[in-house]
Amino acid sequence: MKVLVLSHMYPSSFNFLSGIFVHEQVKELIRQGCEIKVVSPVPLSFFPLNKISSKWYRYSKVPFREVRDGVEVYYPRYVAFPRDVFFASSGLRMYWGIRKLIRQLYESFRFDIIHAHVALPDGYAAMLVSKELKKPFVVTIHGQDLQHTIYKGHGCRKSLSRVFENADIVITVSGKLKRVAEVEIGFSDKIRVINNGINKNRIEQIALLAKNTGTCGNEKIILSVSNLIKTKGIDFNLLALSRLLPKYPDVKYLVIGDGPEKGSLLDLSEKLGIIRNVEFLGKQPNDEVIRYMCNADIFSLPSWSEGFGIVYLEAMACGKPVIACQGEGIEDVIEDGETGFLVRPQDVDSLAEVLEFLLNNPQKARDVGEKAKKHVMENYTWEKVASKIISVYQEVIEGL
């Protein structure tokens, strides 16, 4: 089976972490017999943006083609605007940027199906390619489409609806996203839930190499890994920590990631008087993230706008008790009090209560972590995810 994957979220020289979950999925699909080429459109960096913005300058340095871990990836350019201006038409602009390349690829790589990741812009562009080449397409919804884009205006909602209407199958990465899609857009008969996964072998290898001492002396490590944006709830972790430190002075809070909220989070740490117990580590390679997870005691990310959240899976696979929010995508995986903990969104009291419980009951924390590890390793690997996706491909192709 030959598959064209279309995803602007894909590792590149611009961002080595972007869409790493899509890359992991693609590698496993190849291992299970699919032939795949990836098209990962990059915003066209034009004057004067490429001169006054380091971000847009780095876009200009992304190569047109590379082979990444054995995967052939193309990075064609398309017209995009800063801060998602005119976003409703982004799918059409992406299509115009990739159509020539895809026609050329199709001459030697007669793909059977197109798999787009996110509905806008990638799914919309895939829809137009599908119509042109008479090939079926599926689209995976990771969260942004149904949690943010759909509320940006009538144009965005209309574009998303067109993608859902024309896609052969829509995959959502959580039950939460499926429910939102059914309410906001419809087409429930063509929606399938396939959660994301983890690289079991790599996590096991890193865990073996990591110095699995957990803490230094009596120090207890709480870890978060995320983009530093408001909805991730890092500020609530800081507020909860300020309540706990008088009783648990040896707690250390590590934050991996970067983003627009970093400055305000540092200021909050100073204001709360806990800056000596908090360390912002910036972006880290995924292997290093796993190593930190192996050596943490608790993983806490009280995000209240989460489509799914692979970092929760990774922390669980490392045997750690995980704290997430009720009502989010990770509820598909976490049974509260058994394989993790679910707290009320934007609620410091609820979060501090669970953190204190885990600090007071280290054996219970370890037990929950071990149950979580077993649950994830048995049910949420990329092997299982890829097998389900291949079944979707077969369903679509056989139904033509």
pLDDT (tens digit, 9 = 90+) per residue, 321-348?
999 999 999 999 999 999 999 999 999 9
pTM of the model: 0.94
Asked whether residue 45 carries a pLDDT value surpassing 70, the answer given is: yes
Asked whether residue 269 carries a pLDDT value surpassing 60, the answer given is: yes
pLDDT of residue 217: 59
For the chain, what is the mean pLDDT? 95
| 366-389: pLDDT as tens digits | 999 999 999 999 999 999 999 999
Q: End-to-end CA distance of the chain: give it in Å, rounded.
A: 15
Fold of domain 2-197+382-398: Rossmann fold (3.40.50)
**Domain residue limits, the chain:** 2-197+382-398, 200-379
In this chain, the answer to whether the domains covering 2-197+382-398 and 200-379 adopt an identical fold is yes
Count other C-beta atoms under 10 Å from residue 395's C-beta: 13
| 170-217: pLDDT as tens digits | 999 999 999 999 999 999 999 999 999 999 999 999 999 886 444 455
Fold of domain 200-379: Rossmann fold (3.40.50)
pLDDT of residue 53: 86
β-strand pairing of 71-74 with 65-68: antiparallel
Burial 3-41 (b: 16+ CB within 10 A, else e): bbbbbbbbbbebeeebbbbbbbbbbbbbeeebebbbbbb
